[in-house]
């Protein structure tokens, strides 16, 4: 699209929103400061770099597809991420798993990883002015094959994962210290039972004790934020998950930790958007993992749908942007991987922009006065307002491709880079 056309359509859209009392210029300023954390594992199908040709194994996770060009080393991953960030507007972060360290071709056990293995990522992020987030990796390892890690009744296995998680928190805190931006460390474990379990209480008590020990080491909040993540079920944990939503919600509230809401980790009829305003009454912050589950936690590329829109709307309506940490969590190997990043991130940004463009005060006034027709009418009216023109202008003023221009850029990158790997 031509610059003049984008500016023209923006001004038309600006006038339409102004009639509803919405300042689009102010919305664009807010959009500049909404950080979205890109997950590194979309680039390589959750393989990591612990060993050559590593692949995702276990944990109840699954990657499907074999599109050419996946990142096979850190240099290729960084090249892909740089391409993605060159196309996306707004504020970005990078989310790493512990299996993505620079191990120098040596086998470093997870209970032996150190800050030095991630110094390269810290330097890389510093050069780009972005923050880093981090995750312990309690899957794709022989000590996770039995289905239990931090809740394992086998002390040797449990001690291994406790030490691993302690070290991951230390690494995350160092990221936050050096970058001057707090790092979010998230704990997700695959622990659960394929068939009926009769000793859930003991397993959950063990997990609680493991978490208590892990969190006994405190770090400054300006360096590290801790979050814990539940899941309804996974492959191999269909009947029982130790770290259930109820377990982690109770732990988070009692211990003032963030809870991670992954919209693929709940029953398909549950919407995590409805949970945001409830949880924020009891904890300081939450972490979002935005994804798209198709009948289960399939981690399809994020797209704009009712579920995503509600998440964004409830965050804005609760005036909680400064208390909600936004991360992406999908991995699809059936299409161009850098392209998947861009589709998913743009979808998240558009959803939050749409929510910011709502005339919330007017809608609340209708609600308080029992004017249900007017409330619903305006909610529907907003769906046909020209919010796409606002997003195109957001891309323009940030010097990024507008409209469909990014598609050609990704096609060229595929031809020139990905297909030559």
Query: Active-site residues: which are they?
Result: 188, 229, 231, 262, 265, 289, 297, 299, 329
Please count the CA atoms within 13 angstroms of the CA of 182 that sit on its side-chain side. 14
Q: How many residues does the chain have?
A: 421
Question: How many other C-beta atoms are found inside a 10 Å radius of the C-beta of residue 249?
Answer: 18
- CA distance linking residue 143 with residue 244, whole number of Å: 21
Could you tell me which residues come within 8 angstroms of residue 297 by beta carbon, excluding any fewer than 6 positions away? 231, 232, 234, 262, 264, 265, 291
- CA distance linking residue 371 with residue 367, whole number of Å: 6
Q: How many helices (H) and strands (E) does the chain have?
A: 14, 10
Alpha helix segments (H runs only) across 67-136: 74-87, 119-128
Contact by Cβ (8 Å): 389, 353 = no
Q: What is the DSSP string of 245-297?
A: HHHHHHHHHHHT-EEEEETTSS-TT--THHHHHHHTTTSS-EEEEE-B-SSSS
Q: Are strands 240-241 and 286-290 parallel, antiparallel or unpaired?
A: unpaired
């Amino acid at each position: 699209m031509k610059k003049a056309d984008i500016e023209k359509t923006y001004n038309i859209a600006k006038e339409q929103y102004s009639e509803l009392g919405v300042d689009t210029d102010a919305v664009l300023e807010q959009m500049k400061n909404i950080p979205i954390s890109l997950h590194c594992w979309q680039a390589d199908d959750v393989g990591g770099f612990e060993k050559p040709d590593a692949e995702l194994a276990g944990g109840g996770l699954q990657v499907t597809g074999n599109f050419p060009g996946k990142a096979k080393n850190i240099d290729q991953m960084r090249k892909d991420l740089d391409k993605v960030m060159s196309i996306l507007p707004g504020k970005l972060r990078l989310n790493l798993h512990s299996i993505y360290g620079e191990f120098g071709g040596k086998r470093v056990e997870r209970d032996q990883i150190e800050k030095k293995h991630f110094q390269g990522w810290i330097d890389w992020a510093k050069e780009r002015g972005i923050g880093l987030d981090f995750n312990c990796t309690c899957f794709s390892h022989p000590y996770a094959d039995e289905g239990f890690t931090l809740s394992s009744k086998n002390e040797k296995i449990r001690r291994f994962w406790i030490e691993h998680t302690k070290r991951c928190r230390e690494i995350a805190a160092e990221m936050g210290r050096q970058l001057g931006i707090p790092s979010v460390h998230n704990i997700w474990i695959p622990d659960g039972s394929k068939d009926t379990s009769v000793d859930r209480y003991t397993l959950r008590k063990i997990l609680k004790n493991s978490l208590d020990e892990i969190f006994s080491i405190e770090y400054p909040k300006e360096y590290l934020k801790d979050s814990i993540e539940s899941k309804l079920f996974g492959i191999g944990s269909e009947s029982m998950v130790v770290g259930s939503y109820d377990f982690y919600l109770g732990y988070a509230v009692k211990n003032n930790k963030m809870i991670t809401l992954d919209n693929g980790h709940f029953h398909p009829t549950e919407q995590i958007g409805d949970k945001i305003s409830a949880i924020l009454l009891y904890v300081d912050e939450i972490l979002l993992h935005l994804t798209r589950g198709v009948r289960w936690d399939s981690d399809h590329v994020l797209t704009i749908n009712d579920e995503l829109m509600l998440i964004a709307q409830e965050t804005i309506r609760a005036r909680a942007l400064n208390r909600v940490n936004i991360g992406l969590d999908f991995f699809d190997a059936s299409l161009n991987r850098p392209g998947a990043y861009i589709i998913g991130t743009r979808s998240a940004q558009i959803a939050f922009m749409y929510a910011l463009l709502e005339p919330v005060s007017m809608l609340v006034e209708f609600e308080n006065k029992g004017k249900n027709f007017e409330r619903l009418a305006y909610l529907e009216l907003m769906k046909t307002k020209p919010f796409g023109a606002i997003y195109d202008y957001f891309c323009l003023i940030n010097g990024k491709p507008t409209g469909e221009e990014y598609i050609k850029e990704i096609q060229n990158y595929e031809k020139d880079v990905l297909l030559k790997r």
